[in-house]
Amino acid sequence: MNAQRLDPIVGAIEAGGTKFVCAIGSGPCELLLERTQFPTGDDPERMMQTVTSWFSAQEGKHGTMAGLGVASFGPVDLDEQSPTYGFITTTPKPGWRNADIVGPLRRAFSGLPIGFDTDVNGAALGEARWGTALGLEDFVYVTVGTGIGGGGMARGHLLHGLGHPEMGHMGLPRIPGDDFEGACPFHGRCWEGLCSGPAIAKRTGVSAEQLPHDHPAWELTIRYMAHALANLTYVLSPRRIIVGGSVRKGGQLGEEQFFARLRTAFREVLSGYISSPALSENGIAEFIVPPQLGDDAGVCGAIALAHSKLQAPTLHETKKPS
Amino acid sequence: MNAQRLDPIVGAIEAGGTKFVCAIGSGPCELLLERTQFPTGDDPERMMQTVTSWFSAQEGKHGTMAGLGVASFGPVDLDEQSPTYGFITTTPKPGWRNADIVGPLRRAFSGLPIGFDTDVNGAALGEARWGTALGLEDFVYVTVGTGIGGGGMARGHLLHGLGHPEMGHMGLPRIPGDDFEGACPFHGRCWEGLCSGPAIAKRTGVSAEQLPHDHPAWELTIRYMAHALANLTYVLSPRRIIVGGSVRKGGQLGEEQFFARLRTAFREVLSGYISSPALSENGIAEFIVPPQLGDDAGVCGAIALAHSKLQAPTLHETKKPS
């Protein structure tokens, strides 16, 4: 960790579909001064009131925040020219469709710089600043949990465009003999429909956490994951793929086994097509990795998003080329 | 076209698997002063001699070139620190494995700035400078012909990373009832193995150009193309996808029909998941488009690659944000 103690103290919100993690601080570990969480529920207005009250109370203890960062579940509107900038848009989550996230924060903390991005781009930025993507200009961060999302950087910039990536919805080859219809309400057997926590539960009747280590669904999940990471490699040519989220912990299989088998399956899918030391038998353990910030990647990412909105030249989102 | 007459005259090589197109000029159309082509053959050394002789002769007529740009088939080594920078690396094309492209040019034109990138990143840069990607910071350029390749820009920078994208090798969902084993020697049924010209010929026994307009292989090709473009959209969130190459001309079906059906199929694959005017029934004709520079995209891209290596501040690869 190379966190700088001189970075200003900011507020951070990791807005997830299950819980909102709120924190105040300037970086990971001991730089995270306070941290709490609230169940997401189905009432965005009440949630945003809870959140703003908590931050107001923290300002009483720690002084005025220099900025706020929000790393949110999505889809979100990131177009600053749009009337719904800072909203969660078409989510199927009850109550949260077209929920305004940035608006209530702006009204409660007038004039405060607010950084807003997807949860995965936030986590990517956190890993770029303090974690395993330090010094990398081109990498992908994916989270595999209740849903699957992906973000990252290309040439030192967070991936944006028409909107933000929706990597979890890419289509994958069917593994021979697998007739599972998938769990995505939009696409059935997309990556999320095959490998998310709910997809594993739908396929097996057992949660990923409880699934026995020798259940054949692990092999299928890992092989579909390998196809997905191969597709990301073909499209983006990243220098590293960070895999976060609960499913990567591998349940009864364990995180180490999950990653070891994922790396092997990934190399099988590539079939030697891309020749690079990073993708060799020796290099692959540094290419497909868990987040270094662990479960703090999201909230640290929100801190980094806040910092990216401040004016100080050292705090820009873009790092110097490695 | 907003080509600037004051741009310096450079040499351009579109190095393809079938032919090398060489040109000298400063941009598209009337700014392309001379142009010729040579069959690629199986002897890279002889080809590079032919090419350097041609450029030397052109310098006699048009004066010294300010730079050279090469947009090459691949895979290529783009790492300037690598001993094989500027080489074509693991291609299956007879004779061209580990062929040095930049080296012979450096030796023939000592001190001349040389831009080198993939054919598709070159074409993307050409379209960004003079074509349909003008003003766009985030877009994809794919070519579907003898092979399938993809490049483009994210946040105004050409897509690079560990190496360069290899989009043609992404895996796609199987369309029910389609048992074709694919044509890719590495992956069988990857995008290239399903939709390239040779894949269509292997599937039908007829070339894409000759394939009757009502042959069911067109529907399959278009539907796999739609899955591939959807995956690109999910991963990169581009503002536009440019589809070049010979297959996009649609053979007996025609280019207009090919694009119309591709756009419809693409929207079906997305299933309304991403809500954006650009992806609506009205917007889609501006989202999936042929290259504006047509068959000159590659050689114009090589000119743009040369310009990107020159020092003048207006000639940088990165355009100002739109």
Integer Cα distance of B97 and B269 in angstroms: 37
CB atoms B160 and A150 under 8 Å: no
At A96-106, the pLDDT tens digits run 999 999 999 99
Return the amino acid letter for B16: G
Chain A residue with CA closest to B321: the answer is A161
Question: Choosing among A148, A159, A237, which should be mutated to test the B contact, i.e. which has the most B CBs within 10 A?
Answer: A237
- Write out chain A residues lying below 8 Å of B158, CB-based: 155
CB atoms A150 and B227 under 8 Å: no
CB atoms B155 and A150 under 8 Å: no
pLDDT given for residue B311 in this prediction: 62
Burial class (CB in 10 A: 0-12, 13-18, 19+), B79: middle
In Å, what is the CA distance from B192 to each residue of B120, B160, B171, B198, B262?
A: 15, 20, 9, 9, 16
pTM of the entire predicted model: 0.92
Average pLDDT, chain A: 93
pLDDT given for residue A2 in this prediction: 47
What percent of chain B lies above the pLDDT cut of 70? 95
At A115-150, the pLDDT tens digits run 999 999 999 999 999 999 999 999 999 999 989 999
For the residues B118-123, what does the mean pLDDT come to? 96
In Å, what is the CA distance from B48 to each residue of A185, A241, A252, A259, B20?
A: 54, 38, 58, 45, 10
What distance in Å separates residue A55's CA from the closest CA in chain B?
Answer: 33
Chain B residue with CA closest to A139: the answer is B161
CB atoms B171 and A172 under 8 Å: yes
- Write out chain B residues lying below 8 Å of A237, CB-based: 159-166
Query: Do A189 and A171 touch, CB atoms closer than 8 A?
Result: yes
Of residues B166, B189, B235, nearest to A165 (C-beta): B235
- HSE-CB at A117 with a 13 A cutoff on CA atoms is 35
- Write out chain B residues lying below 8 Å of A162, CB-based: 138, 233, 237-239, 274, 276, 278-279
Element spanning A106, H or E: helix A102-108
Question: Choosing among A89, A120, A157, A234, which should be mutated to test the B contact, i.e. which has the most B CBs within 10 A?
Answer: A234
Nearest to A17 by CA among A192, A146, A149: A146
- Write out chain A residues lying below 8 Å of B160, CB-based: 138, 155, 237
Question: Choosing among B167, B274, B276, which should be mutated to test the A contact, i.e. which has the most A CBs within 10 A?
Answer: B274
**In this model, does residue A30 exceed pLDDT 90?**
no
At A176-230, the pLDDT tens digits run 999 999 999 999 999 999 999 999 999 999 999 999 999 999 999 999 999 999 9
For every residue of A47-93, DSSP letters joined together read HHHHHHHHHHHHHHHH---S-EEEEE-SSB---TTSTTTTEE-S--S
Chain A residue with CA closest to B236: the answer is A165
Question: Choosing among A89, A117, A169, which should be mutated to test the B contact, i.e. which has the most B CBs within 10 A?
Answer: A169
CB atoms A166 and B273 under 8 Å: yes
Return the amino acid letter for B119: D
- HSE-CB at B55 with a 13 A cutoff on CA atoms is 29
Rounded to 5°, the CA angle B95-B101-B103 comes to 125
For the residues B145-158, what does the mean pLDDT come to? 95
Chain B residue with CA closest to A136: the answer is B161
Burial class (CB in 10 A: 0-12, 13-18, 19+), B35: middle
CB atoms B231 and A168 under 8 Å: no
Q: List Cβ<8 Å contacts ≥24 apart for A167-170.
A: A167/A140, A167/A142, A167/A191, A167/A228, A167/A232, A167/B234, A167/B235, A168/A142, A168/A192, A168/A196, A168/B234, A169/B234, A169/B273, A170/A228, A170/A231, A170/B230, A170/B231, A170/B234, A170/B235
What percent of chain A lies above the pLDDT cut of 90? 87
**In this model, does residue A22 exceed pLDDT 50?**
yes
Kindly report whether the peptide bond that precedes residue A39 is cis, defined as omega within 30 degrees of 0: no
Q: Which residues contact A214 (CB under 8 A, 6 or more apart)?
A: none
**In this prediction, does ipTM exceed 0.90?**
yes
Give the pLDDT band of residue A311 (cuts 50, 70, 90): low
**In this model, does residue B296 exceed pLDDT 60?**
yes
Of residues B139, B170, B189, nearest to A231 (C-beta): B170
pLDDT given for residue B90 in this prediction: 85
E runs forming strands in chain A: 10-15, 19-25, 32-39, 68-72, 87-88, 99-100, 114-118, 139-144, 148-154, 157-158, 241-244, 288-289
Burial class (CB in 10 A: 0-12, 13-18, 19+), A64: exposed
Integer Cα distance of B180 and A25 in angstroms: 57
What distance in Å separates residue A45's CA from the closest CA in chain B?
Answer: 23
Nearest to A260 by CA among A236, A224, A287, A294: A287
pLDDT given for residue A231 in this prediction: 98
- Write out chain B residues lying below 8 Å of A161, CB-based: 137-139, 154, 236-239
CB atoms A138 and B160 under 8 Å: yes
User: Residue holding tokens 């993809």?
Assistant: B150
Of residues B162, B169, B238, nearest to A161 (C-beta): B238
**In this model, does residue B320 exceed pLDDT 70?**
no
Give the pLDDT band of residue B313 (cuts 50, 70, 90): very low
**In this model, does residue A321 exceed pLDDT 80?**
no
In Å, what is the CA distance from B205 to each residue of A102, B168, B224?
A: 58, 22, 19
pLDDT given for residue B315 in this prediction: 39
Chain A residue with CA closest to B164: the answer is A237
What distance in Å separates residue B75's CA from the closest CA in chain A?
Answer: 8
At B190-225, the pLDDT tens digits run 999 999 999 999 999 999 999 999 999 999 999 999
Higher-pLDDT residue of A205, B296: A205
Q: In what order do the strands lie in the sheet with A288-289?
A: A157-158, A148-154, A139-144, A241-244, A288-289
Question: Choosing among A80, A82, A117, A170, which should be mutated to test the B contact, i.e. which has the most B CBs within 10 A?
Answer: A170
User: Which two three-digit tokens encode residue B211?
Assistant: 């394939």
Of residues B172, B189, B274, nearest to A166 (C-beta): B274
**In this model, does residue B165 exceed pLDDT 80?**
yes
Give the pLDDT band of residue B5 (cuts 50, 70, 90): low
Higher-pLDDT residue of B43, B295: B43
**In this model, does residue A6 exceed pLDDT 80?**
no
Query: Do A83 and A103 touch, CB atoms closer than 8 A?
Result: no
Integer Cα distance of A102 and A91 in angstroms: 16
At B168-187, the pLDDT tens digits run 999 999 999 999 999 999 99
- Write out chain B residues lying below 8 Å of A279, CB-based: 162
At A39-70, the pLDDT tens digits run 999 999 999 999 999 999 999 999 999 999 99
Nearest to A312 by CA among A78, A2, A4, A1: A4
CB atoms A155 and B155 under 8 Å: yes
Element spanning A105, H or E: helix A102-108
For every residue of A6-18, DSSP letters joined together read TSPPEEEEEE-SS
Integer Cα distance of B122 and B278 in angstroms: 25
What percent of chain B lies above the pLDDT cut of 90? 87
Q: What share of chain A is helix, strand, coil (3-state, %, to 5)?
A: 40, 20, 40
Give the pLDDT band of residue A318 (cuts 50, 70, 90): very low
In Å, what is the CA distance from A309 to each residue of A68, B18, B149?
A: 9, 49, 36
CB atoms B167 and A234 under 8 Å: yes
Chain B residue with CA closest to A151: the answer is B235
At B32-86, the pLDDT tens digits run 999 999 999 999 999 999 999 999 999 999 999 999 999 999 899 999 999 999 9
At A238-291, the pLDDT tens digits run 999 999 999 999 999 999 999 999 999 999 999 988 889 999 999 999 999 999
Task: Kindly tell me the sign of the dihedral angle through the C-alpha atoms of A305, A98, B237, B277.
Answer: negative
